Amino acid sequence: MTQTCLPAQDNLQLVAALSRIALSCEDISTFWRGALKTIGTALSCYCAYGVLFAPGRADQSELWLADSVPSDTEDATRMALTAFVALREMALAEDFDHIASCRDAELRSQLEHCGIDALHSLPLHHKDELIGYLCLAWRDAAQSISADRLHGLEDPLALSLSHLALCERLQRHNARLYDLFDSFTAPVYVSDLHTHEILFANKCINKAFPLGDKSENLCYKRLQGYSNPCHFCTNDVLADDGTPYRWTHENPLTHRVYTVIDRKVRWEDERLVRLSIALDITDSIRAQEEKRKAVMASEAKSEFLAQISHEIRTPLNGIIGLTHLALQDSQEDQRDYLYKIRHSATSLLTLVNDLLDLSKIEARKMVLEHSDFILQDVLDFAHVAVQYQMQQKGLDWHCRIGKNVPRRLHGDNQRLRQILLNLLSNGVKFTTSGSISVSVARQRENDQDWLHFAVSDTGKGISKEFLEHIFEPYSQEDASISRRFGGTGLGLAICKHIADLMGGSIWCDSTPGQGSTFHLRIPCVEAAFEDEPSSDAITADMPAGLPEGVDILLVEDNTINQEIACSLLGRMGAHCTVAHDGRQAIDLALQGTYDLILMDVVMPEMDGIAATTEILRRAKELRKTLPPIIGLTADHAQPLLEKLHDAGMADVLFKPIDPTLLFHKILQWTSPANA
C-alpha cells in the first residue's frame, strides 16, 4: 500500500461530509450511523474493519467492515475490538503489528478467533479532551500501517465526535424546551407560515384537539374546524422582528374564549414560523359577568331597600309623631297605651334600620361620619330610649364615667349611639329584675388611647357555646328567644361591624343565670376645638319654645307628615307654611321670606334635590338671599348625603324625626350666627 495517510483534500471532504450529516439529522442515532458510515467508507482502503469508540459510550461504538465478514463472527469481532480499546485505555494492552505480540492471552485468543493479525488504536482529542478512540484491524499484518502514520485522520474523526456531542446537547435543550411547553396548561403550538402545518403541539393541544389523520394537521382544520385558512389568521400581520401580537377570539370547536399571543420565531431549519400561546379566559369572563350581575343585583337590592324603607318609615313617622302629640294632651289612663304604641313603632323602626345596615355591610358601603360631640349626650340618648321599658320592669340604672375620660370627643356619635342603644336594649330585654349599668373608662395600651365601654345586666346570661357565635348574623341562642323576646339576631352582628370600622373591638363575658357584660373598645379621640358642639340629645320633656317670629317653609307631600310637622312646629312657637311638592316649593321660597326651609327629599314629579338646586339657581339670578335648607330623608346612605350637600342643603334630619332634635336644628340654623 503506497498511501500512508489521508491527503488534506480528502480530510476536508470528510469534515464537510460530517458537518452536512450533523446539520441534516434530526436525532443522535441518525447522525451516529451517518458519521460512522462516512468514516468507514473513507478508511476502508486502509484496513479490513475497525471500531470508533467513545469512552463510557460502548452502546454507541460502531463497527464498519472493509470486506465481508461471516455473520457468525461479526459480533465476536466487535466485542474483541471493544475489549482491546478498553484495555488500551487502561494501559493494559498495546498496539501490535502481529498477533503474536499481543501479551494478553485471553484477548489474543479472541482476536485470533476473529482472524485479526494486526491492530492499531488512535486516541482522538478535541480541545485537549479525550473524546474517543479509533481502532483499526487487519487480517494481514503485511498490509498494516503504524498509528503514527494515521495522524491525518485525527482531526476529522475528533470533529465527528464533537458534532455528536453538540447534537446531543441540542437535542437535550430541545427536549427541555418541549417539556417546558408541555407543562403549560395553556395551548402552545408552532405552525408553518405558508402551509399552516402544525410543526409542534404541546400536551394541552394534543388533549383538547387530538390528531387523527395526518392530513388534518393544519392549524385551521385541527384547531378551528375550518376547511380553509381562517379569515382572522394573523400570519400576514406578524412582525419579522418577533414583536408579539395579541388578540382574542371564541373557538368554534370548544366554544371557549382565548386570548392568543402570536409571534414569528426561527425554527430548527432557520425558517420563520408562527409560535402561538393561548390563554383560556372563559372562566375569567364568566366570573366577571357573574360579578357584574351580582353588583347589579346588590345595587338593585340596595335601591329597593332604600325605596321600601322610605315607604315604611313614612307611616312610622306618622305613628311616632302622632303618638308624641297624643302624649302631650292625653289623660293618664291613655298614656300607657300610647307609650306601648310608640315602643312598638320604635321597635319596627329598629328592625328596618338593621336590615338597611346589613345591606350596606354586604355592599361594603357603610362609612363613618366624624364630628365633635359630648359623650354624656350619647349616653343620655341611649338611656332615655330604654327608660320606659326599664321603669315597667322596675330596673335600676347606673352610669359611671371615669375621671380621665374626655367630656368632648371626635368621631361618629350616631354609630356609637347605635351600638350602645343595641346593647342596652338587649340588656333590658333579657333582664326581669335587678339593674342595668354602663361604665366608661379610658385606657392606654401600645401607645394608643382607648375608650372602654362596659354594658352590664343582671339577666338570664348566655351559654358558653353560644358566646362563640353571638356576633354572627341571624344568631340567637334558640328559636324560642325570637318568639318570646322578638328580634332578628342582626343587631350584634351590625355592632361588631361598626366597631371594626371604628378600629376597635367588641366582646362579651357572661355567666348563665347571673347576667352579661358587653365590652366595646374604640379609639379615644378628643375634640379638636374648644367651642361647644350643638347638642341633639333626646330629653324626656320638650325644650322651651323657639324665639318669637320664626317662619318656616315645610316642603312635604305626605298629608299626615304635614299635620305632624305643623303641629310640632306650632307647639314650638314657629309659624309654618306648607308646600305640597317641589314645584310649589320653588314659587313659595322665591316669593316669601322665611327663616328656614325644611325640604323632603323623596317627592313625586320633582324631588327635594332638584327643587333645592332650582331654588338656589333662581335666587342667584334674582340676587335673593335664601334661608338655610334642611333635607328630610329616611336614607342614611353616604352617597345621598353627599348629593344633598352638593345640591346646597345646609343640614339633614332623618325620619322618623325626633321632636327634640328638630327643635335643636331649628334653633341652631335660625340663630344670629347662622342667619
Whether 410 and 338 share a structural domain:
no
Does residue 355 sit in the same domain as residue 378? no
Which pLDDT belongs to residue 518? 95
Domain tally, the chain: 5
- Cell numbers for 414: 350616631
312 vs 112 pLDDT, higher one: 112
Please, which pLDDT band fits residue 7 given cuts at 50, 70 and 90?
very low
Residues 274 and 312 in one domain: no
SS3 (DSSP) at 651: strand
pLDDT of 254 strictly over 70: yes
pLDDT of residue 590: 92
Separation of alpha carbons 508 and 517, rounded Å: 6
Under the banding of pLDDT at 50, 70 and 90, the label for residue 21 is low
- Asked if residue 94 and residue 67 are part of one domain, the reply reads yes
Which residues, in sequence order, are bridge partners of residue 519?
454, 507
Q: From CA 599, how far away is CA 584, in angstroms rounded?
A: 12
Does residue 223 form part of some domain? Answer: yes
DSSP annotation of 141: G
CB 48 within 8 A of CB 65: yes
Provide the sign of the torsion angle of the four alpha carbons 239, 241, 242, 243, taken in this order: negative
| Segment 641-646 mean pLDDT | 88
Report how far residue 620's alpha carbon sits from residue 614's, in angstroms, rounded to the nearest whole number. Answer: 10
Question: What is the full DSSP assignment across 38-59?
Answer: HHHHHHTTT-SEEEEE-TT-GG
CA 409/CA 416 separation, integer angstroms: 11
pTM, whole model, 2 decimals? 0.44
Among 101-110, 148-157, 305-314, 369-378, the least confident range: 148-157
Look at 43-47, 70-74, 430-434, 513-517 and tell me which has the smallest mean pLDDT. 43-47
pLDDT for 599: 94
- pLDDT bucket at 450, cuts 50 / 70 / 90: very high
- Residue 30 shares a structural domain with residue 118: yes
pLDDT at 664: 86
Q: How far apart, in whole angstroms, are the C-alpha atoms of residue 72 and residue 63?
A: 14
Q: Identify the DSSP state of 526.
A: B
Least Cα distance to 51 among 5, 1, 111, 7 occurs for 111
> Does 104 share its domain with 43?
yes
Q: Flag whether 432 is in a domain.
A: yes
- Give the residue ranges of DSSP H helices in 25-113: 28-43, 71-89, 105-113
353 vs 113, residue with greater confidence: 113
Q: Does residue 652 register a pLDDT over 60?
A: yes
Residue 555 lies in a domain: yes
Same domain, residue pair 375 and 476: yes
Whether residue 453 is contained in a domain is answered as yes
Same domain, 98 and 211: no
Q: Are 57 and 79 members of one domain?
A: yes
- CATH number of the CATH domain containing 238: 3.30.450.20
* C-alpha cell read off for 273: 414560523
Grid coordinates given for 454: 362596659
User: Is the pLDDT confidence value at 485 over 60?
Assistant: no
Element (H, E) at 373: strand 371-374
- Single out the residue in 342, 362, 382 at which a domain terminates: 362
pLDDT digits (tens, 9 = 90+) for 345-362: 776 776 677 666 666 666
Distance CA 641, CA 662 (A): 18
Least confident of 9-13, 48-52, 427-431: 9-13
- Looking at residue 267, its pLDDT comes to 82
pLDDT at 655 over 50: yes
Strands ordered across the beta sheet of 49-53 = 62-65, 49-53, 129-138, 118-126
What mean pLDDT, rounded, does the chain reach?
A: 79
> Which pLDDT score, from 0 to 100, does residue 537 have?
40
pLDDT at 512 over 50: yes
Question: Containing domain of residue 432, as a range?
Answer: 371-523
- pLDDT band (50, 70, 90) for residue 115: confident
State whether 439 and 355 are in the same domain. no
Mean pLDDT of 608-624: 92
pLDDT-derived band at 86 (thresholds 50, 70, 90) equals confident
DSSP states along 359-402: HHHHTT------EEEEHHHHHHHHHHHHHHHHHHHT-EEEEEE-
Residue 135: count of CB within 10 angstroms of its CB? 23
Q: What is the CATH number of the domain that holds 358?
A: 1.10.287.130
